[in-house]
Homo-oligomer: A and B are copies of this chain.
Amino acid sequence: MKLFSSNTYQERRQHLKKSLKGGILLFAGNEESSSNFKDNWYPFRQDSSFLYFFGLDLPGLVAVIDLDLDVEIIFGDELTTEELIWHGEKTKIADLATAVGVAQTRPLKDLQQYLDNGRKRKIHYLPPYRPENVQKIVHWLNIDVAQVPAQASDDFIRAVVALRSIKSNEEIAAIDEAVNTSVKMHRRVMQQAGAGMKEYELRAMLTGEAMAAGGNLSFLPIVTIDGQILHNHNYSNTLSEGKMVLGDFGAENELHYAGDITRTFPVGKKFTEQQKEIYQIIYTAQQAAVRALKPGIRFLDIHLLACKKLAEGLKEMGLMCGNVDDAVENGAHALFFQCGLGHMMGLDVHDMEDLGEEYVGYTPTLKKSTQFGLKSLRLGKELEAGNVVTVEPGLYFIPQLMDQWEAEKLHKDFINYGKLTKFRNFGGIRIEDGFHINPEGSSLLGDPLESTIEEIERLRSK
């Protein structure tokens, strides 16, 4: 198990304690997760907030910070002699706790009593996203299952989001490492993909590359010739000349920090002229958005800037028309760009998505829009130095959506429906990289990966 120094975890907890008034902070670690029978497990993934404050990458742990008594405790059980036969000798809980700067440990059976004693005080918990942890909260705190999301602690969530949103130098180094592995994964796929191969063969390559670096994938990969399907987890198509492959995937390193990159490349050696035209629009939009990244600017405005660049390009091609600003304000561009420009990245690929977008991406005064397109933007609020974000514009030609809008005559002043026919089977293109916001602007995370049309064609022809 790889850890930062014990100081790192102690400092994180000190900051957390300072930002909360009182009560008990309850951190439910994750359990093993069953696939097709109880003991056939998916690879273990610890909860990210547990990792951030307590580091220990093992199932069956619960941690408590008692703000009133200024006590930190890790609850967990030692292996029995018989479990040791199956799972090997494990480090003692007390030694694990010491490694992350926690002085007290207790067996799990003591947790209920501890919480019962604290019942008159506020017990803060984060919103659970796994059903077994929902059940634990129900059981520990004796509340109704339907009440579990609503009773999660607002103050606790805000304090965790404030800390985890600003990445330290050692976190940036960890993210760089994950991104560098992600770069290798993409390069291998771009170099080895070819007509006649199955998408699952590309999945095999990129997964192997992530694991060979000692980590795992940071999310279920998208690697598909149907790039217009935004979250495509099907890998059964055959690559054919004329199509493009959209690959959206990344690694997480041993510390579980994520990388997340997207590239779209032609199955043949060269992009077609039509593909080049669309690709260049997206590339230009990404460059403009990246140049605008800096502390103090709302990511919502970066998103809208990218949307305008996309709409300008589409207008030049004749697919859109009218005033570009009006088109974007009305959401007409969302026929082609249905999602958001990016998201925070850290211990989760969509960092802290479990804690709620209203905390992570928005503020009490900046609420998420309900407009189609904008409502899928995970991050709207002002950027701060230390944030890590992705920038991932794209254009997606979804036949069913184009038919539906045309039938409804939606935004007909901004869209030349007659010219869309040639793009029905085009697919989709996305370009995505990760950036670290610094006082001067931003810097690319990890090593640069081939991204222009020329760079990709050069890589493909090697």
Identify which of B36, B42, B350 contacts A48 (C-beta below 8 A): B36
**Nearest Cβ on chain B to A371's Cβ, whole angstroms:** 13
The answer to whether B208 touches A36 (Cβ under 8 A) is no
Bound-state CA distance A214–B87 (Å) is 30
Note all chain B residues with C-beta closer than 8 A to A87: 229, 231-232
Asked if A452 CB lies within 8 Å of chain B CBs, one says no
> Can you name 11 extra interface pairs (CB under 8 A) apart from A37-B350, A38-B129, A41-B220?
A36-B354, A37-B129, A37-B348, A40-B219, A40-B349, A42-B220, A85-B398, A131-B135, A135-B135, A204-B207, A208-B211
Asked if A209 CB lies within 8 Å of chain B CBs, one says yes
Note all chain B residues with C-beta closer than 8 A to A130: 34, 131
The answer to whether A230 touches B404 (Cβ under 8 A) is no
Bound-state CA distance A368–B353 (Å) is 46
Q: A94-151: which have CB < 8 Å to B?
A: 129-132, 135, 145
Asked if A384 CB lies within 8 Å of chain B CBs, one says no
Asked if A84 CB lies within 8 Å of chain B CBs, one says yes
Asked if A442 CB lies within 8 Å of chain B CBs, one says no
Which 4 A/B pairs are nearest by Cβ-Cβ distance? A208-B208, A204-B211, A88-B229, A204-B212
Note all chain B residues with C-beta closer than 8 A to A34: 129-130
Identify which of B45, B131, B211, B353 contacts A203 (C-beta below 8 A): B211
How many interface residues does A have (CB within 8 Å)? 65
Q: A185-212: which have CB < 8 Å to B?
A: 198, 200-201, 203-205, 207-212
Bound-state CA distance A38–B40 (Å) is 21
Residue from the set A37, A39, A47, A400 with the largest chain B CB neighbour count within 10 Å: A37
The answer to whether A204 touches B200 (Cβ under 8 A) is no
Q: A157-213: which have CB < 8 Å to B?
A: 198, 200-201, 203-205, 207-212
Q: A37-83: which have CB < 8 Å to B?
A: 37-45, 47-48, 81
Q: Nearest residue in B to A41 (C-beta to C-beta)?
A: B220
The answer to whether B401 touches A85 (Cβ under 8 A) is yes
Interface residues, chain A, with chain B CB atoms under 8 Å away: 33-45, 47-48, 81, 84-89, 129-132, 135, 145, 198, 200-201, 203-205, 207-212, 214, 219-220, 226, 229-236, 256, 338, 347-350, 352-354, 398, 400-401, 404
Identify which of B42, B86, B88 contacts A33 (C-beta below 8 A): B42
Q: Can you list 23 A-B pairs with a CB-CB distance of less than 8 A? A: A36-B256, A36-B347, A37-B350, A37-B353, A38-B354, A39-B353, A40-B220, A40-B350, A42-B220, A43-B233, A81-B400, A84-B401, A85-B401, A86-B229, A88-B229, A89-B400, A200-B212, A200-B214, A204-B208, A204-B212, A207-B211, A208-B208, A214-B235
Note all chain B residues with C-beta closer than 8 A to A354: 36-38
Note all chain B residues with C-beta closer than 8 A to A350: 37, 39-40
The answer to whether A35 touches B45 (Cβ under 8 A) is yes
Bound-state CA distance A258–B135 (Å) is 32
Q: Nearest residue in B to A133 (C-beta to C-beta)?
A: B131
Bound-state CA distance A88–B81 (Å) is 50
Note all chain B residues with C-beta closer than 8 A to A135: 131, 135, 145
The answer to whether A214 touches B198 (Cβ under 8 A) is yes
Residue from the set A89, A209, A235 with the largest chain B CB neighbour count within 10 Å: A89
